[in-house]
Structures are given as C-alpha cells and as structure tokens.
Amino acid sequence: VPFLEQIEIYDLNIPKAKALADEFKDNDIPVTAVEDLAESVKTSDIIITMTTAQKAFMQKDWMKSNATIVQMGPCDFGTDTVEGADKLFVDNWYQVSKSKLSPVHALHEAGKLNQEDMTELRFVAADMAKGRDNDDQQVMYVSLGLGAMDIMIAHQVYKNAKAMGLGTIVNLWDAPKYV
C-alpha cells in the first residue's frame, strides 16, 4: 500500500504486541503496539484482524465510514459490520457461507445475505469485478483462507528449494504403515 504511513498492532497480551512491533523497528514504516484497540481502530483507514476468536469483538461503531475491513479469522466482526459495509468480498462464497462462526453464515441462514450480495476476490483479481467504487465506501473482505492455496504455495516452495539444493530430507518413519 503506497500511502501507508504507520502500522498499529494490538494483542490481548500487550508485551507480545510490543515484542512484535520491535521486530519491525528498522522498517521504513513505523510499527507500534497499541493498548486501546477501539481508539486505534477509530482512526484507522485499514483494519485487518487475524485471530482465533470464537465470537465477534470488533464493534461496528469503531469503524470509519470509508474504512477497508479485512477479517482473516472466523468471526472477529459481527453481522452488523457485514450488513453495514457498502461492498462485500470473500475468498470463497461456499466456504464462508458454511462456516458456522462466520457472520456471513449467520446472515445467509437468516435470509439476509446471498451469493449475489458479495463478490469473490478472484473476480476482482481477474478484472471481472470492481473493488472500491469511490473513496467514501466502506468495503469489507471476509476470508477464511483456502486450503488448496496453502498446498499450492507449499508445493512451489518445495520445488524451488529442491531446484536450489536447499532443505533437509527427514524420514518420518522407517516403513510406511498404510501403503
């Protein structure tokens, strides 16, 4: 993001957040740990969560009306935040709509949200759909991650390491039990 001026990180364990921020002390963009999540979010243009939370904790009234919101965990934001976004994006509609912790699932089950109401990110990447239409829109991306993507990336890393003669062969067993 070319206009990024600062990065603020938050964790329930403040010392861990500070330690992570310290890892980036030589970065061109200042990274600081914050102790007040709500105050940080209220002034942020981009909000990205990556948690293992089992219930929503981010409040809709914390978000700027034109914020970009990215939920990488299952349920960091409530249904009101999803409903309040001007544009909604997902990595995979089927996966997100079936994830019982996802606010998308709850809205879909309630009949308030359908596949037509969201855009899969692949369509934006292929220039078949538009992302943000204007600077006043609040956009939200709900991601659960795609296992197939993880496998593809891991396979490419393996191929690159093998081609460069890197890595260590590890025998997980003397003889496979199920082959």
pLDDT digits (tens, 9 = 90+) for 4-37: 899 999 999 999 999 999 999 888 899 999 999 9
- The C-alpha atoms of residue 56 and residue 39 are separated, in whole angstroms, by 17
pLDDT digits (tens, 9 = 90+) for 117-127: 999 988 998 89
Structure tokens at 41: 């979010």
Most distant CA pair in the chain, distance: 61
**What is the structure's pLDDT at 12?**
93
Predicted local confidence at residue 19, as pLDDT: 93
- Kindly indicate the confidence band of residue 176, based on its pLDDT and cuts at 50, 70 and 90: low
Residues 6+ apart with CB under 8 A from 142: 71, 82, 88, 89, 90, 91, 96, 102, 103, 104, 118
